[in-house]
């Protein structure tokens, strides 16, 4: 599969998820992801990123994961992680990279950086 990188902000309408800010506002911040191929969307929130901070892989098929690891290695110089998912509408695989910052003790802020996605939809010819 051919992959490309796009800024996370082009696919998700919120790129900073701060636990402290949510507590202050007594509100949960959602980011809406929209699939560039079929328009299907879903919501992302702070807990999605927190839960995946130490869980990497196992969502997409093995071949796609290997290709993604090579195409866009995880940065070791920052506390970077990623979230893998496939679109519920068309099945396209996505990898969303984000940085975790512990802004104060036990309080995490997540900043989305890049999205890696197929250049074209996986199931061609439809
Ligand atoms: Zn889709």
Residue 120 CA, ligand 1 centroid: distance in Å: 11
pLDDT of residue 121: 75
Confidence of residue 122 (pLDDT cuts 50, 70, 90): low
Residue 89 CA, ligand 1 centroid: distance in Å: 5
Residue 106 CA, ligand 1 centroid: distance in Å: 35
Residue 38 CA, ligand 1 centroid: distance in Å: 4
Q: What is the pTM of this model?
A: 0.90
Average pLDDT, the chain: 90
Q: Is the pLDDT of residue 44 over 90?
A: yes
Residue 126 CA, ligand 1 centroid: distance in Å: 13
Residues 56 and 59: their CA atoms lie apart, in Å, by 8
pLDDT of residue 19: 84
Nearest to 30 by CA among 20, 51, 10, 16: 16
Q: Tokens standing for 28?
A: 């949960």
Residues 15 and 110: their CA atoms lie apart, in Å, by 8
The answer to whether 37 touches 5, Cβ cutoff 8 Å, is: no
Residues 34 and 40: their CA atoms lie apart, in Å, by 6
């Amino acid at each position: 599969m051919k992959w490309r990188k796009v800024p996370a902000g082009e696919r998700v309408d919120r790129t900073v998820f701060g636990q402290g800010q949510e507590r202050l506002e007594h509100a949960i911040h959602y980011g809406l992801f929209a699939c560039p191929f079929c328009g299907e969307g879903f919501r992302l929130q702070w807990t999605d990123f927190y839960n995946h901070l130490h869980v990497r892989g196992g969502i997409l098929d093995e071949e796609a994961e290997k290709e993604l690891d090579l195409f866009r290695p995880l940065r070791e110089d920052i506390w970077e992680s990623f979230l893998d998912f496939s679109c519920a509408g068309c099945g396209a695989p996505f990898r969303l990279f984000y940085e975790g910052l512990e802004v104060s003790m036990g309080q995490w802020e997540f900043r989305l950086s890049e999205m890696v996605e197929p250049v074209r939809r996986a199931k061609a010819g439809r």
